A and B are shown apart, each in its own frame.
Chain A
């Protein structure tokens, strides 16, 4: 396609210079440093550094606690992605019906996008607190006893998952609604005339047409559950009880900034980085579009 161009040898570089400078200084340079630090043992406050090759990685691979952290992260991410996307799609389908007040309903369904992980964490922490939280009270009315949500490893994991889904649901619904608007209704009508019931119409037409959007949301939700969970976990559980909610990004923070194991924390960063790289490659292979990583 022809595109009109302005002519200048130096102007485009001037226009891009601030952006490129920020990206080099605050993203590329720290990335290189992260790789470098991962091969060192760093003494407290970085006063002394010793090159130790891949020992940090070997230590991590041998450490059952870190393997547990990886498994926890994958499990929580899988739950957030699968449950979160299914619920969001169901709600979006409901909100896409042509009824009066559809615009108002939309706002009432997508506002959680504005919530922060910390706000979600603090509210859910309170709701599920033993003794005075509302959930335990309702539970005791029904079942006769209360649960120690934040003291039990399994329940704490469930709580973190549900709070995270709640926080991210608005984002998912916005995108599903946008995709549903673009679904060609003629195809659906044709399928109806051919005798396909609503259930069949959904799976063989709508679901199929939504799959690029589902894929986009899959990637963003995985990224969300790997990185943005930090605030929710930090406020609700501090990684506990018994490391049950100690996800990779939280473990990295603890090693880097509480135990001052800079080398090991950097190695964990590198591992996470390769996770992101793999996700990005998959995304490119399948859709050829860039991924939006939640605002960065």
Chain B
């Protein structure tokens, strides 16, 4: 099973190439699947677009304009060819290139997700580590309690309650749409609180596990100062799976955008995906799902690479697919 040879670097290169190839297959398969779904979905986007009173001729004309009079496989081949040249198609609803639409909205999604991710790392991980170190004590129970509470909360309800308290009652922040930096605060909090809970949970579990390892017992037995044992022995190793988890959850967080952006009427990718599904604006749906698929594959590979870089025990070449 285990192949020998080459340095760690070349093994990693081989591994990455292989994963990228598999990833490319997935990235093509996912939108193909979505394309098939859309062929099977009842309802016709053109009829939606033309309105109820449109004549047969008008609908036929629209279909010709959008290339929808051709058989499905021709449409699919067109879409694939366009994708290879960087053309993601043309939105039925917005009547403009999908790439433009997404470009304008990507920024707004990043503005919410990036700070939320940073917050969940900066606040969540230390909370989890403290809970693990004080296992069973009051502080651990308190952190666990609060974390489980936020973990059990639907994000859209959290968003509504934050709106209600800080937007309507206290009037500190605008409740929806975008009007300046302040309007990003509530959506970011809605993202961040459950993410903080998730990363605190993971950090606690990993830290507890590392603390029972033999090498930690050895470190204590050697008489190393507790600061050194905890920081450079335990924490370093506990952080590896936590970091990997971050990469694995990145696509999930983008998925959460569908709900949070809809609640806050935030003009990002998530609300665009939601509206496009409702309006059967297939080119947009396909493009966003394609982007999420690419992101998912990349994050998975990055997670593996980072784990291998941080942990000398993990050798990527052993992971045969």
Chains A and B come from one and the same complex = no
